[in-house]
Chains A and B, each alone.
Chain A
Amino acid sequence: MNIQHSGEEKIPVGFDGVWAFVTDPESVGRCFPEVLDVTVQDPTHFETTVKVGVGPVRGKFKLKVELLPDRPKRRLDMKISGGGFGSTVDLLAGADLVDAGDGATLLKWSGQAEARGPIAAVGGRVLDAQAEKMIAQAFGNVRQQLSA
């Protein structure tokens, strides 16, 4: 099933600070919800293991992440794919970094995911809400880390 969500986070840090953070695989990886480990391969690729629980479907997901930064456009895209326990997800997330004045940056994000397997079977009932929560949590973590 297809899932689409979007939102924004206001971060009290200027563009350069935010950009440096979100294009660093280790930092971004640690912002994934319920992250267990992050293995950085190169400046734009990392693998991570996260705990996933959607309704009765619970387990670990291994995800491969590719960062696609476009500094001139002040945009970061992220391709995430992987899965576990017979389920897979393909996720495309993107964020535009907009100057919010007062040295703050607005992170305008959107994401679309396709889920397959038992996790998709849980489907319309809880997956959509859960996915939204997880994506929002990830970008919330970025704000939190940078605000600290």
Chain B
Amino acid sequence: MSIQAKPLYSVGVPMKRKEDPRFLQGKGNYVDDLTFPGMLYLSLVRSTYPHAEIKNIDISEAMKVPGVKAVITGKDLEAAGLGWLPTFHGLDKQMVLAIGKVLFQYQEVAAVFAETRAAAVDGAEAVQVDYAPLPVVADPFTSKTDKVLLRPDREQKTNHIFHWEVGDKDGTARALASSAKRVKQRIWFQRCHPAPLETCGCVAYFDTMGRLQFHVTSQAPHVYRTALALVTGIAEDKIHVISPDLGGGFGNKVPVYPGYVCAIVGALKIGRPVKWIETRTENLTSTGFARDYHMDVEIGATADGKVTALHIATTADHGAFDAAADPTKYPAGMFGICTGSYDFPVAHSEVDAFFTNKAPGGIAYRCSFRVTEASYAIERGMDILADELGIDAVELRKKNFIRKDQFPYPSALGFTYDSGDYHKTLDTALEKIGYTALLKEQAEKRGRGELMGIGFSTFTEVVGAGPSKHFDILGIKMFDSAEIRIHPTGAGIVRTGAKSQGQGHETTWAQVVAEELGLDPQTIMVEEGDTDTAPYGLGTYASRSTPVAGAAIVMAARRIREKARKIAAHLLEVGEADVEWADYKFQVKGVPAKAVTMKQVAFAAYTNMAQNEPGLEATYYYDPPNMTYPNGAYVAVVDIDRETGETKVRRFLAVDDCGTIINPMVVEGQIHGGLTEGFAMAFSQEIQYDAEGNNLNTNFTDYLVPTSAESPHWETANTVTPSPHHPMGAKGVGESPNVGSPAAFVNAVIDALSPLGVRHIDMPVTRDKVWRAIRDADANKV
């Protein structure tokens, strides 16, 4: 029999992405590409006021606009029992359309349905809303005073949403009190927005069977189906959610938005398909924002720099509704990862969240629920500690790293880190960046008064939510799933409960199946996003695809292998116990020449299966035993123009350890994308509100998304420490660069400015802020 060697394209091979020809030729199939006969368009009337009572909504003029078919308001929805929408972690609810009052600028107030997109916009413009302005609460510290109660609809008559804490409060206080060195700094991770290039949108219609067909930009189609069934009362079998190609998500496409509900209501009420596509301004001003954590970081250490304790108290701005997409038991997400890569004997972390008159959200923007905030806090904190102790930032980190022999490592805040070799990852970075030479150059430049900075971030992430005993959304446990069908010719299809938004699942999942089954990945099709065909899963966010759905694929493939073994035994005319899987084929133990390939077995499964059950397919639901803990060592080198405050990122090196790498080219692409986002947050992006609650960053001229022209050149490298509990050893990488890089950039800027006595600048470190810091430092010198 012929023997097939290891498949050319399997795990570890930089196979070109199968989806790219479609995307690069403009042939992707996005929600806004869909058109159905008789389709109407929805446009939303949005509040211009951040906080106001609604005195009256007059739709009469709107109904006169040619093409307008219907207008619905919050009162209409309330009457139908659809006035409010539960938020994903189930701790709050959100108005679909404003009822009684508006709580943030650009809040959805009325929905206008019309024959054309233009008519819908004109109709929305013609809706007259009379507002009576109320006092505005534009920051969480004002909110804390409860002088203006924002949410009288809630039982608790306070703006305080929750207090969450983890760790040993008293032990931490005692350890800090007895520490030789204590540093304290308020560090703000500003409000950001994921700003996917494709905004959110949907098309909803009821088919001839009365079944809701819902095409939507969703990172979690199955969760949407269940949520819609719960909210609308439509039986879940009568709901079909299809998430087609997505132009980025980054967490922004996890929540269910009012526009979706309005589109469904419109389709039901009018009996025609309804399309809703957000404008850029609507996306930036009303859908899930990220961060907005004010973190009071305190670190204790011995005089020679061994850390003794960590305390972080955070004031969180959640906006008008508590719509943070966190797992139910984790209102502050995975913020407990704030001890980072360091061996803190004791720690305590607490988060208090408040309502404000700002857009709701607090989504996991390319991070596993508040991990970016936590990583930024500890990585900035460690640099401040190094600075105050007069110890090199690298030396301080190495002194405090969790050692390789300490894994599995129980952190002071309750996580069990799976694996890592932090010293090796950092040493790789130091060698590749040429740290010794950079230090020499920096010393020379400082001698000439020039500002050069070297910044590090040696972060640890926690991703892959998550084990069912801890993690759920709306009560649904955070497992994920895969179904694999191998066809008679050895081609196949894999479906998962995850949903790619550009991560390259069509390629990497095919490689995983190819690796496990010895098949050609070019003939393994990947399908996601269709709730009628895909097994139930919780979707793609929080770097959970590879750790959870990826593991399900491996396990499903191994189930197929077990079945295939029986057929192979039949073909090889030996007992099953005499067949082993080796070198990507079934062979008779001790007689490697006597072997059959999976392709041969697949054909036999449909043509010559003997007494075995026909077919070759399997499904697996994977409940991860633990989270995975990718880590990295990032280095930024910056030069700052003393006269203008302009920062130039001269070099940036990312050394990532994401465990087993499925496709190095896809991983590198993920890292480039995430670093570009980190660069944007560090230097420019912020959703700002003025004191009156006006959103000041409503478009891409005010909220900058860097292109390749502005972005630095990215250097990347890897170390590989497999996860011991993942069936393939993979940890996931999608979010590491977004999580790890902001601190490296800011640490580099502060390092450059440290000879002037600058200790901290909050992001974004714009040239304006840097210039002011230099000017103030110079003024103080005089």
Chain A residues whose C-beta falls within 8 Å of the C-beta of B695 in the assembled complex: 121
A23 CB–B CB distance under 8 Å: no
A14 CB–B CB distance under 8 Å: no
- Decide: A120 near B46, CB < 8 A? Known: A56-B699, A85-B125: no
B-binding segment of A30-38, A70-78, A110-118, A140-148:
A110-118
- Decide: A121 near B48, CB < 8 A? Known: A84-B125, A116-B105: no
A48 CB–B CB distance under 8 Å: no
- Decide: A120 near B701, CB < 8 A? Known: A86-B46, A86-B48: no
Chain A residues whose C-beta falls within 8 Å of the C-beta of B696 in the assembled complex: 120-121, 123
Give the complex CA separation of A56 and B701 in angstroms. 9
A130 CB–B CB distance under 8 Å: no
In the complex, are the beta carbons of A88 and B125 less than 8 A apart? Answer: no
Give the complex CA separation of A117 and B109 in angstroms. 14
A73 to chain B, nearest CB (A): 28
A2 CB–B CB distance under 8 Å: yes
Name A75-134 residues within 8 Å CB distance of B. 83-88, 114-118, 120-121, 123
- Decide: A120 near B281, CB < 8 A? Known: A56-B701, A84-B125, A85-B125: no
Residue of A nearest to B129 (CB): A88
Residue of B nearest to A60 (CB): B125
A1 CB–B CB distance under 8 Å: yes
- Decide: A114 near B48, CB < 8 A? Known: A56-B699, A85-B125, A121-B702: no
Chain A residues whose C-beta falls within 8 Å of the C-beta of B49 in the assembled complex: 88, 116
B403 to chain A, nearest CB (A): 51
B416 CB–A CB distance under 8 Å: no
In the complex, are the beta carbons of A118 and B690 less than 8 A apart? Answer: no
In the complex, are the beta carbons of A116 and B699 less than 8 A apart? Answer: no
B697 CB–A CB distance under 8 Å: yes
B285 to chain A, nearest CB (A): 9
- Decide: A114 near B281, CB < 8 A? Known: A56-B701, A121-B702: no
Give the complex CA separation of A1 and B106 in angstroms. 16
Chain B residues whose C-beta falls within 8 Å of the C-beta of A123 in the assembled complex: 690, 694, 696
Give the complex CA separation of A125 and B701 in angstroms. 12
In the complex, are the beta carbons of A121 and B694 less than 8 A apart? Answer: yes
Chain B residues whose C-beta falls within 8 Å of the C-beta of A2 in the assembled complex: 692
- Decide: A120 near B694, CB < 8 A? Known: A83-B48, A88-B48: yes
- With beta carbons under 8 angstroms apart, the residue of B50, B692, B698 that contacts A118 is B698
Give the complex CA separation of A117 and B125 in angstroms. 13
Name B79-109 residues within 8 Å CB distance of A. 105-106
Chain B residues whose C-beta falls within 8 Å of the C-beta of A118 in the assembled complex: 281, 698-699
Chain B residues whose C-beta falls within 8 Å of the C-beta of A114 in the assembled complex: 692
Overall SS of chain B's interface: loop
B202 to chain A, nearest CB (A): 21
Give the complex CA separation of A85 and B125 in angstroms. 7
B158 to chain A, nearest CB (A): 27
- With beta carbons under 8 angstroms apart, the residue of B281, B692, B697 that contacts A116 is B692
Give the complex CA separation of A115 and B46 in angstroms. 15
Binary per-residue interface labels of chain B (114-138) against chain A in the complex, 1 for a CB within 8 Å, 0 otherwise: 0000000000010000000000000
Give the complex CA separation of A54 and B392 in angstroms. 50
Give the complex CA separation of A2 and B696 in angstroms. 14
Which residue among A83, A115, A121 has the maximum number of chain B CB atoms within 10 Å of its CB?
A121
- Decide: A121 near B692, CB < 8 A? Known: A85-B125, A116-B48: no
In the complex, are the beta carbons of A120 and B690 less than 8 A apart? Answer: yes
Residue of B nearest to A114 (CB): B692
- Decide: A1 near B692, CB < 8 A? Known: A84-B125, A118-B281, A118-B698: yes
- With beta carbons under 8 angstroms apart, the residue of A1, A84, A88, A121 that contacts B698 is A121
Name B674-697 residues within 8 Å CB distance of A. 690, 692, 694-697
A59 to chain B, nearest CB (A): 9
- Decide: A117 near B690, CB < 8 A? Known: A56-B701, A84-B125, A85-B125: no
A81 to chain B, nearest CB (A): 10
Which residue among A2, A87, A120, A123 has the maximum number of chain B CB atoms within 10 Å of its CB?
A120
Give the complex CA separation of A81 and B106 in angstroms. 19
B465 to chain A, nearest CB (A): 35
Give the complex CA separation of A146 and B695 in angstroms. 41
Name B42-74 residues within 8 Å CB distance of A. 46, 48-50
Chain B residues whose C-beta falls within 8 Å of the C-beta of A121 in the assembled complex: 694-699, 702
In the complex, are the beta carbons of B48 and A87 less than 8 A apart? Answer: yes
Give the complex CA separation of A2 and B106 in angstroms. 19
Chain B residues whose C-beta falls within 8 Å of the C-beta of A115 in the assembled complex: 694
Give the complex CA separation of A120 and B698 in angstroms. 10
Chain A residues whose C-beta falls within 8 Å of the C-beta of B48 in the assembled complex: 83, 86-88, 116-117
A75 to chain B, nearest CB (A): 26
Residue of A nearest to B128 (CB): A62
A136 to chain B, nearest CB (A): 24
Give the complex CA separation of A85 and B697 in angstroms. 16
A125 to chain B, nearest CB (A): 9
In the complex, are the beta carbons of B281 and A1 less than 8 A apart? Answer: no
In the complex, are the beta carbons of B46 and A1 less than 8 A apart? Answer: no
Chain B residues whose C-beta falls within 8 Å of the C-beta of A1 in the assembled complex: 690, 692, 694
B49 to chain A, nearest CB (A): 6
Residue of A nearest to B279 (CB): A86
Chain A residues whose C-beta falls within 8 Å of the C-beta of B690 in the assembled complex: 1, 120, 123
In the complex, are the beta carbons of A116 and B125 less than 8 A apart? Answer: no
A27 to chain B, nearest CB (A): 27
Give the complex CA separation of A123 and B50 in angstroms. 16
Give the complex CA separation of A115 and B694 in angstroms. 9
Chain A residues whose C-beta falls within 8 Å of the C-beta of B281 in the assembled complex: 86, 118
Chain A residues whose C-beta falls within 8 Å of the C-beta of B701 in the assembled complex: 56
Chain A residues whose C-beta falls within 8 Å of the C-beta of B50 in the assembled complex: 116
Chain B residues whose C-beta falls within 8 Å of the C-beta of A56 in the assembled complex: 699, 701
Give the complex CA separation of A114 and B50 in angstroms. 13
Residue of B nearest to A1 (CB): B690
In the complex, are the beta carbons of A117 and B105 less than 8 A apart? Answer: yes
In the complex, are the beta carbons of A116 and B694 less than 8 A apart? Answer: yes
A85 to chain B, nearest CB (A): 7
Chain A residues whose C-beta falls within 8 Å of the C-beta of B106 in the assembled complex: 86
Binary per-residue interface labels of chain B (695-722) against chain A in the complex, 1 for a CB within 8 Å, 0 otherwise: 1111101100000000000000000000
B534 to chain A, nearest CB (A): 38
Chain A residues whose C-beta falls within 8 Å of the C-beta of B692 in the assembled complex: 1-2, 114, 116, 120
Which residue among B694, B696, B702 has the maximum number of chain A CB atoms within 10 Å of its CB?
B694
Give the complex CA separation of A19 and B623 in angstroms. 81
Give the complex CA separation of A84 and B128 in angstroms. 10
Give the complex CA separation of A116 and B638 in angstroms. 39
B617 to chain A, nearest CB (A): 52
Give the complex CA separation of A87 and B106 in angstroms. 10
A128 to chain B, nearest CB (A): 13
Cβ contacts A to B, 25 pairs, < 8 Å: A1-B690, A1-B692, A1-B694, A2-B692, A56-B699, A83-B48, A85-B125, A86-B46, A86-B106, A88-B48, A88-B49, A115-B694, A116-B105, A116-B692, A117-B48, A117-B694, A118-B698, A118-B699, A120-B692, A120-B694, A121-B695, A121-B696, A121-B699, A121-B702, A123-B696
Given A56-B699, A87-B48, A118-B281, output 16 extra A-B contacts at Cβ < 8 Å. Answer: A84-B125, A85-B125, A114-B692, A115-B694, A116-B49, A116-B105, A116-B692, A117-B48, A117-B105, A117-B694, A120-B694, A120-B696, A121-B696, A121-B697, A123-B690, A123-B694
In the A-B complex, the 5 residue pairs with the closest CB atoms? A88-B48, A120-B694, A117-B48, A116-B48, A121-B698
